[in-house]
């Protein structure tokens, strides 16, 4: 009798282990990821939110953190497209910037505890999926510490693709839905690279699960040669540097012929930055937030003028909010108790960035040829990846013009300018800095709506 009981218990323990080993069905996984309420969230929020982890590499234990914010129920989320948003750095969090400073429905109050609504949130037009990428950024993690020191463009794209494949299994209702990728700054690399990977994997597939329709990037790192030329020209034409510094930069900086600038170029850049003085380079006409040590974006090795991060005082609110244990619990975040606090940008990931091609233009040519919808926008008061750099990069594609440069309007006022090329639309947003939706939320909303509807900017 004792033996049979022991046998039953043994079978029971094997059964329990097998049950634990089997992953939950998608609907149960979704329910597990559903956010019931965020601390400090306003009342009567009319949209569903989900967040959690998707493993992208079992062996290394790499898992990426996502936050899905659906369209309000009143706007029919089931019929709206899905948009993946990525921030750059490399090493900066899409939760810190995209979700809570730019296009998400919530803004964080200065107390670092409460949230208030953004009337121009992009989830009014689409279901928005924010991803902290690569592993080591924000809540995304790896069990192999070396992964944080060896991140680069290729692995970031591959992991993001694996994330999407696995995420669509968890959220099958989004399979075959119109899908777009958007982002800014160094996501000028992430976005086209991921779009290229999705496009190539979809080739020959009758009805692809990831139904990629196009992409959109803002103030995007695109092509080293044109980024250097256009940036120095912007500094000079906007009166930020002297004639002699401009000439020295043109002479000393070899404009993207190698991954890292020469010592002579670095010295010229240092002198130019000193001449610019205490401005916010990410938004040259707004006051810098002086009473905090500026965070460091990690592009400093490749683009030394980018080493001063954009800090309009909002970054510290997110650092405060997302480090609250109850916020992490509500988001199903930090489940492994990562041994460091959540940061808006990871210096380790960015400072040790491994691979970064000099140009994205060949990818643009491939995807324009594939017929994807591609929009590039630029806030015109950003001196870090300025509008001149973007215009030089697009000019290098030698695309035929369909609609020449024209002003677009919002309520009778010029909101910026646009030019429509064969296969690509360029839009500028007047008075906007590096983070266009932060500085010009209404105009950015109009831009996003026009992109989704594939209509030219209102003239």
Which residues form the catalytic set? 185, 382, 434
Question: Two tokens at 369?
Answer: 């040829």
Q: How many Å from the N-terminal Cα to the C-terminal Cα in the chain? A: 86
CA dist., res. 211 & res. 160, Å (int): 15
CB 369 within 8 A of CB 202: no
Identify any residues that bridge with 178 across adjacent strands, giving them in sequence order: 211
Looking from the CA of 161 toward its CB, the CA atoms found within 13 Å total: 19
CA dist., res. 335 & res. 338, Å (int): 8
Give the DSSP per-residue string, 192-242.
Answer: HHHHHHHHHHHTT-SS-SSEEEEEEEES---BHHHHHHHHHHHHHHTTSS-
Give, for 184, the enclosing helix (H) or strand (E).
Answer: strand 178-184
Q: Count the helix, strand and coil residues of the chain and give each as a percent rounded to the nearest 5.
A: 40, 20, 40
Question: Two tokens at 222?
Answer: 């695109």
- In sequence order, what are the residues at sequence separation of 6 or more whose Cβ sits closer than 8 angstroms to the Cβ of residue 274? none
Return the beta strands (E) in 356-456 as ranges: 373-379, 401-410, 413-421, 424-429
CA dist., res. 140 & res. 441, Å (int): 28
Question: Tokens 């040519």 sit at which residue?
Answer: 365
């Amino acid at each position: 009798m004792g033996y049979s009981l022991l046998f039953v218990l043994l079978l029971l323990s094997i059964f329990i282990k097998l049950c634990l080993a089997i992953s939950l069905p998608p609907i149960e996984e979704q329910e597990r990821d559903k956010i019931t309420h965020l601390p400090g969230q306003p009342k009567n929020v009319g949209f569903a939110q989900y967040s959690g982890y998707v493993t992208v590499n079992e062996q290394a234990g790499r898992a990426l953190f996502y936050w899905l914010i659906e369209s309000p129920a009143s706007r029919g989320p089931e019929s709206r497209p899905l948009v993946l948003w990525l921030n750059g750095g490399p090493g900066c969090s899409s939760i810190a910037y995209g979700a809570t400073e730019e296009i998400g429905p919530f803004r964080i109050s200065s107390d670092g505890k409460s949230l208030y609504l953004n009337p121009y949130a992009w989830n009014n037009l689409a279901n928005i999926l924010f991803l902290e990428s690569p592993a080591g950024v924000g809540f995304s993690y790896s069990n192999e510490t070396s992964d944080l020191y060896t991140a680069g463009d290729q692995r970031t794209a591959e992991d993001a693709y694996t994330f999407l494949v696995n995420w669509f299994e968890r959220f099958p209702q989004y399979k075959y839905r119109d899908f777009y990728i958007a982002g800014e700054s160094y996501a000028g690399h992430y976005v086209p690279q991921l779009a290229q990977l999705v496009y190539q994997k979809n080739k020959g597939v009758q009805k692809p699960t990831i139904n990629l329709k196009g992409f959109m990037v803002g103030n995007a790192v695109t092509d080293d040669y044109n980024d250097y030329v256009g940036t120095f020209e912007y500094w000079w034409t906007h009166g930020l540097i002297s004639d002699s510094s401009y000439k020295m930069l043109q002479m000393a900086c070899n404009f993207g012929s190698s991954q890292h600038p020469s010592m002579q170029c670095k010295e010229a850049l240092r002198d130019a930055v000193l001449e610019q003085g205490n401005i916010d380079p990410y938004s040259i006409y707004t006051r810098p937030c002086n009473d905090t040590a500026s965070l460091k974006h990690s592009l400093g090795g490749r683009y030394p003028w980018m080493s001063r991060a954009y800090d309009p005082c909002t970054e510290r609110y997110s650092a405060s909010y997302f480090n609250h244990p109850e916020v992490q619990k509500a988001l199903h975040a930090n489940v492994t108790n990562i041994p460091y606090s959540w940061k808006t940008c990871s210096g380790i990931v960015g400072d040790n960035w491994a691979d970064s091609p000099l140009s994205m233009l060949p990818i643009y040519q491939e995807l324009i040829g594939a017929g994807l919808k591609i929009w590039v926008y630029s806030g015109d008061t950003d001196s870090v990846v300025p509008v001149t750099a973007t215009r030089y990069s697009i000019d290098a594609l030698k695309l035929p013009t369909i609609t020449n440069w024209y002003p677009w309007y919002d309520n009778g006022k010029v909101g910026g300018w646009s030019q429509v090329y064969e296969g690509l639309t360029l839009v500028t947003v007047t008075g906007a800095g590096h983070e266009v939706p932060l500085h010009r939320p209404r105009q950015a909303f109009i831009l996003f709506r026009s992109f989704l509807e594939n209509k030219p900017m209102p003239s």
